[in-house]
Homo-oligomer: A and B are copies of this chain.
Amino acid sequence: MTKMPDGMKTFFEPESVVVVGASATQGKPGNDAVRNILANGYRGRLYLVNPRGGQILGIGVHRSVQELPEAADLAVIILPAADNARAIRECAAKGIRFFVLAAGGFSEVDEQGAALQKELARAVSETGVRVIGPNTSGHTSTPYRFTSSFFPLGKIPRGRVSYVTQTGNFATHTMRYIITGEHFGLARFVGLGNKLDVDETEVLDFLADDPETTAVLMYLESLKRPRLFVEVARRATKSKPVILLKGGCTKEGARAAVAHTAAMASDDRIIDGALRQAGVTRVWDYTHLIWAAKGLSMMPLPKGPRVSFLAPSGAMLVVLTDLCRDRLGLEVPEVEEKTRRRLQEISPPYIRMRNPVDIWASAVVHGVEYAYREAMEALLSDPNIDAVVPVLMLTEDTGVPPLDFLVDLAKRHPEKPIYATFSGDKRYMDEGKAFLEPQGIPTFPMIEEPFHTLSILVRCQKAMVRGQRFPGAA
């Protein structure tokens, strides 16, 4: 009985939307919200409301909610904090039941704000409507080409990972970075804001069954209903990874959290064990959320912790082996005898080929493309290996060698992740990324990052397997 009352589906797949507080002035949130909806190619019916009427971005504006030709599925309210309760009542009178409330200036700021939030809560409870926010940066649903964000985001690329976050700029800057610097997209994302109504538990419950979502990433500072959250997470993690960065683990961090979302961070020690038992994979770096999203978006989950890697430098092999073994819980196993022989065939005899693979001499003799391709084919075919990380050396000597073979290898071994990373000239690293990622091979700028990412996803995989094996267990 962890199922929630219906509702999230309408938020993510509204057939009609009204922006209340749409603005003709470029740079204003009420203008950016409309631009975002248009940029993403929303196919439902879009209405704009502003007392001045006229046109905004070529769309006729209604002077009031009452004038609308229908009760839109969803209202995005972009009005000053003090006007939100009234807007909700007006919309509810029209028959609108789902709301995104963009305004800040509620409980997160001061007592006056807290009073406004109380008034808002009364409007919500008396009308029975559903609300994301207030103090939210909006939500996005790329399969439905819709976003309620009022930050200038532009077209948000579609992907298969969803992202739930407590707060605003964090979400939008992350999105801007992903849109401009990476080659993957998101399925759904939500900024929860002050969580007057919709909270992380309800969203996770929806995403658990969402066919558009193969994994859920979360940034949370508090859990509104921790017990229920754990219960929902236990169900969700049976079928998809749930990765959580929880802010406010320390006293000082928790103090910082109070300042901006009005939420007292939950006591970390109490919930950590429960979350782990529920199969939630925690991370501690914001950047790791991005790398994990990248790995999940472009490659399958690793089936286990046994990695192989190839590098043009013996020292890199040493450092990365230490990293895997000492700190990341990854194994660097011996390969099968058959694999070892295939590796040895491409190498001068004085290099004893094994895992990890010193590819330098082979690449000098056979060229980068041949050496890496042959070695990786052997490694990907080896049942002892769950994932392969080529460290590619890109310098003036090599430029960016032909890398189609990596795309080909990924196609022929779709069950094993390939994460690429680089050493050498920055320019060629950037070119390597620009070539590989649009074809589905994730790259990571620094050599440790593929391993940090694999380590996180191996924990996800273990949690899923455990959840499936012991369906009744905690």
Contact = CB atoms under 8 A, between A and B. Distances in A.
Nearest to A314: B260
A315 B166 contact: yes
Contacts of A356: 256
A286 B221 contact: no
Contacts of A427: 180
A354 to B, nearest CB: 8
A252 interface: yes
Contact of A170 (B284, B313, B325): B313
B425 A176 contact: yes
A327 interface: yes
Contact of A248 (B318, B351, B426): B318
Contact of A322 (B109, B247, B396): B247
Given A181-B426, A181-B429, A286-B319, 19 more contacts: A109-B350, A110-B350, A173-B423, A174-B423, A176-B395, A176-B425, A177-B423, A219-B315, A221-B318, A247-B319, A252-B325, A254-B318, A255-B321, A259-B317, A259-B354, A286-B446, A287-B446, A287-B448, A445-B445
Interface in A56-115: 105, 109-110, 113
A358 B247 CA distance: 15
B395 A350 contact: no
Contacts of A243: none
Given A168-B313, A176-B425, A256 B318 contact: yes
Interface string A425-437: 1110100000000
Interface in A414-453: 423-427, 429, 445-448
Contact of A259 (B253, B256, B352): B352
Given A173-B395, A176-B424, A252-B332, A286 B316 contact: yes
A143 interface: no
A326 interface: yes
B176 A350 contact: no
A245 interface: yes
A422 to B, nearest CB: 9
Contacts of A362: none
Nearest to A285: B448
B424 A177 contact: yes
Nearest to A220: B315
A315 to B, nearest CB: 4
Contact of A315 (B170, B354, B393): B170
A109 B425 contact: no
Contacts of A425: 176-177, 180-181
B350 A105 contact: yes
Interface in A216-263: 219, 221, 245, 247-257, 259-261
B256 A321 contact: yes
A218 B221 CA distance: 39
Given A152-B397, A169-B360, A284-B326, A259 B314 contact: yes
Nearest to A257: B318
Given A286-B447, A315-B247, A325-B250, A350 B169 contact: no
Query: What are the 3 tightest A-B residue pairs by CB atom distance, in nearest-first order?
Result: A260-B314, A181-B426, A247-B318
A312 interface: yes
A291 B423 CA distance: 15
Contacts of A352: 259
Interface in A286-331: 286-287, 312-319, 321-327
A21 to B, nearest CB: 18
A267 to B, nearest CB: 14
A46 to B, nearest CB: 22
Interface in A122-165: 152, 154, 165
A40 interface: no
A461 interface: no
A154, A166, A316, A351 pick with most chain B CB within 10 angstroms: A316
Contacts of A325: 250-253
22 contacts: A27-B397, A152-B396, A154-B396, A169-B314, A170-B313, A170-B315, A173-B313, A173-B424, A176-B423, A177-B423, A177-B424, A177-B426, A180-B426, A181-B426, A245-B319, A248-B318, A249-B326, A256-B317, A256-B318, A260-B358, A284-B322, A287-B447
